[in-house]
Structure 1
Amino acid sequence: MQQTFKFRLYPNKEQESKLEKTLELCRFTYNKMLEWLNRQEKPNRLELQARLPKLKEEHPELKKVHSKVLQMETYRLFSNLKALSELKKKGRKAGRLRFKGKGWFKTFTYNQSGFKLVETGKRLDNLHLSKIGDIPIRTHRAVDGEIRQITVKRYPSGKWFACICVEGNDEKPLTKPHSNLVGIDVGVENFTTDSDGTVIENPKHIDRSLDKIAQSQKALSRKKKGSANRAKAKQKLAIAHERLTNQRNDFLHKVSKYYINNYKTIGFEDLNITRMIRKNDKNRYESTLRRHILDTSWNSFFQMLSYKAERAGGKVIKVNPKGTSQLCARCGENVPKRLNVRIHRCLNCGFTTSRDYNAALNIRNRAFNAPKEKASKPGQGLPVAPVEERPLSRHISFIEIVTGQVFLSKQEASSNL
């Protein structure tokens, strides 16, 4: 199993200058190879790699970059060509690859060789990169396994990070799952509502950061292009965006860890988020809703659940989202309701509960019957899993999540209530 670790680098001024120079030389190499392709020569990837030694003779400054780093630019070029081809196959308008301008490149990659992670026993370890030197790195987690590749990335805020790809690192589950199956309904008002009656508050990071980002954007627009003050304002804006991204990711990692530590099987909806945020009109309410949907980062949350479940020996099941909020989880009756109606009331069986909790029960039922769904129509003819319909017994604020106050397991929670 492959695993990627992301650690921050702390280069000195000389090392940072070399890192910047490496990015620019990689950009130059990429543009040269694109130029060869545009001449209708149509060389394959290996032929492009074979031309690199001659290119180094013509441009001696390229010898300051490790050979594997330059070779990886051929992978970048052909990966971009493949992505362009896929867009055209889908009927999307796609032109040709363009030459990259100064400052465009943000990453370069060492593959198989040219690097070494050295433990120092101190607060910071060292990452040796060929042609650059030993750069201090903060490894906040143990890197177990064989390092196959390292990608160095520069963020707009000016920070440098190393993404270390490791082969054969099989993580053991942190805790033994206590329950077999849970259904999770994601939302905007509450981030998750699950079939066990637990509600996790949506932090709505964007609402708390929007004013600061808007102020930074306005300050940037007032600065003269090319000036030092504009560069400072641009970095300040980048730091504000980076802080928002870090807040989102921290919250998502902690919520996903909570569910992985408690459940062996997790069911969630296979949502078409692109369709949900499609602009249909200029309605202010819908604009705010779209912004909050993007802020919740449901796709990132689902991805985290998927790879963490795989490492922990669990599994995730994506279910058809059609009708999860409309069908009664107890009797299966269709109970139509608008988005602003937050209570589910079934006139057929009398089941009354939160709309989101009813959806979570339906998601759990569909995940329970996942192997049988292909033989039946969605929401019809499927046996309901034996679920105990509980009240919404536990509300977890986002502050409890981000500060680590939330219990790791429901057994711990029940013993402390």
Structure 2
Amino acid sequence: MKLTYKFRLYPTKDQEKKLLHALDRCRFVYNKLLEELNKQEKIDRKILQHLIVELKEKYKELKEVYSKVLQYEHYRLFSNLRALARLKKNGKKVGKLRFKGKGWFKTFTYNQSGFKLIETNKRLDLLHLSKIGNIKIRIHRAVKGKIKQITIKHCSSKKWYACITAEVKEKITKSSNSKKVGIDLGLIDFIYDSDGNKIKHPKILDKSLKKLTKEQRRLSRKKKKSKNKKKQRIKVARVYERTVNQRNDFLHKLSRCYVKGYGFIALEKLNIKGMVKNRYLSKSIIDASWSKFIQLIQYKAENAGVDIIKIDPKNTTINCSNCKSKVYKKLYNRIHKCECGLEIERDYNSAINILNIGQGLSKFTPVKIEPLRELTEVSASSVVEAGSSLR
């Protein structure tokens, strides 16, 4: 099992120069490999691998970068080729790989060797990177397992991060939790589940929109190619980054809450790409980040031994969760009212149907309906202690 951690780096000015130099040299090697690849009629990986050795002899500054970091660009190139092949196989229109210009190459990777974490028993520990030195790093949670790879990332906000991949040799045991839940995702309430829990939509983008608009307006007024324009672009990037971090924090904590609380989770298999084509709802759907939430809850459930299933959402809102009869309603009708006497919120009814279908019980025993409880975004975020060590 592989786990990934992301920690903030605090390089000195000299270390930052070395990091930027390594980033630029990796970009140079990647572009040279792509140039050679485009010349080949038949792809020969050995020729491309040997090209790195030739480049190091020709360009002495490449020797200032750790050898395995440069070799990883060979792997990155063919990884990108495989990604294009998968897209083409799935019927997508694909072009050719592009050369990377400055500003479009933001990461380089130490694979297997050339790095070491050094504990200092202080607020900031140290990350040793070969050919760069000891960089201060904020390790806010313990790293489990053996570190296999470290990717250094330079963000648009000019912040540096270390993405650490560690391998844990632990057998995943099936969760002993017998509780089951169905989850309905929405825009008014982010989640309504079959236990009656309701999580309010945090609307993080709306909350930061005023600040973002203000900074973007300032950016548009700056003179082109000026230093002030560059400084303002960083400010805009930091507002974006803060928004993304807040959203990810909410999604991580909420997904962990459900994985810890249940042994079986049923979700909708939503066509989100199709849904965002609705110009009236697209911004709200993107802000909700349903795909991200589903991705997080899936990988956490797999690592925790929790069963998770995605079902077709067709008729989950229409069908009555008590008697299975169809009750048609407009989007603005928020109450499900059936002739059998059941009267509950439509999203609650949908969540129960999702659980029933997920268990294969859609034609048999209905889920017992409990009294409604409401959770706010505050209580959802407080499920995991500060630092989010359970991510």
Q: With structure 2 as the length reference, what TM-score do the two structures score?
A: 0.93
1:205-354 pair list within 5 angstroms = 205-279=204-278, 286-287=279-280, 289-347=281-339, 349-354=340-345
Q: Which residue identity is paired with 1:251? A: F
CA contact (8 A) 2:257 2:383 kept: no
Distance 1:405 1:142, change over 3 A: closer
Supply the distance in 2 between the matched residues of 1:238 and 1:247 (Cα, whole angstroms): 14
Supply the distance in 1 between the matched residues of 2:103 and 2:51 (Cα, whole angstroms): 25
Post-superposition Cα deviations, 1:363-401, rounded to whole Å, max 9, x if no partner, equal: 11011118xxxxxxxx6xx3235x211232x21111333
CA contact (8 A) 1:179 1:262 kept: no
Supply the distance in 2 between the matched residues of 1:53 and 1:22 (Cα, whole angstroms): 17
Q: 1:49: which partner in 2?
A: 49
Q: Which residue identity is paired with 1:220? A: L
Supply the distance in 1 between the matched residues of 2:272 and 2:17 (Cα, whole angstroms): 41
**What is the SS of the residue equivalent to 1:9?**
strand
Moved more, 164-173 or 38-47: 164-173
What are the ranges of 5 or more consecutive residues in structure 1 without an aligned counterpart?
A: 280-285, 371-378, 408-417
What are the ranges of 5 or more consecutive residues in structure 2 without an aligned counterpart?
A: 386-391
Distance 1:91 1:259, change over 3 A: closer
Q: Which residue identity is paired with 2:375? A: I
Q: Which residue identity is paired with 1:399? A: V
Q: 2:374: which partner in 1?
A: 395
CA contact (8 A) 1:171 1:312 kept: no
Post-superposition Cα deviations, 1:327-369, rounded to whole Å, max 9, x if no partner, equal: 110111111222221111112x121110000000001101111
CA contact (8 A) 1:190 1:199 kept: yes
Percent identity of equivalent pairs: 53
CA contact (8 A) 1:146 1:166 kept: yes
Supply the distance in 1 between the matched residues of 2:345 and 2:137 (Cα, whole angstroms): 48
Q: 1:27: which partner in 2?
A: 27
Give, in angstroms, the shift of residue 41 of structure 1.
4.8
Q: 2:365: which partner in 1?
A: 384
Supply the distance in 2 between the matched residues of 1:51 and 1:208 (Cα, whole angstroms): 51
Distance 1:177 1:338, change over 3 A: farther
Q: 1:357: which partner in 2?
A: 348
Supply the distance in 2 between the matched residues of 1:216 and 1:302 (Cα, whole angstroms): 32
Supply the distance in 1 between the matched residues of 2:228 and 2:171 (Cα, whole angstroms): 47
Supply the distance in 1 between the matched residues of 2:19 and 2:65 (Cα, whole angstroms): 10
Query: C-alpha root-mean-square deviation of aligned residues, in Å?
Result: 2.0
CA contact (8 A) 1:268 1:363 kept: yes
Q: With structure 1 as the length reference, what TM-score do the two structures score?
A: 0.88
Q: 2:388: which partner in 1?
A: none
Q: 1:137: which partner in 2?
A: 137
Out of 365, 369, 372, the residue aligned to residue 360 of structure 2 is 369
CA contact (8 A) 1:34 1:99 kept: yes
Match status 1:159 vs 2:159: yes
Supply the distance in 2 between the matched residues of 1:229 and 1:44 (Cα, whole angstroms): 47
Give, in angstroms, the shift of residue 177 of structure 1.
6.9
How many residue pairs get matched?
Answer: 384
Post-superposition Cα deviations, 1:94-138, rounded to whole Å, max 9, x if no partner, equal: 322221111211100111111111111211111111111111111
CA contact (8 A) 1:150 1:165 kept: yes
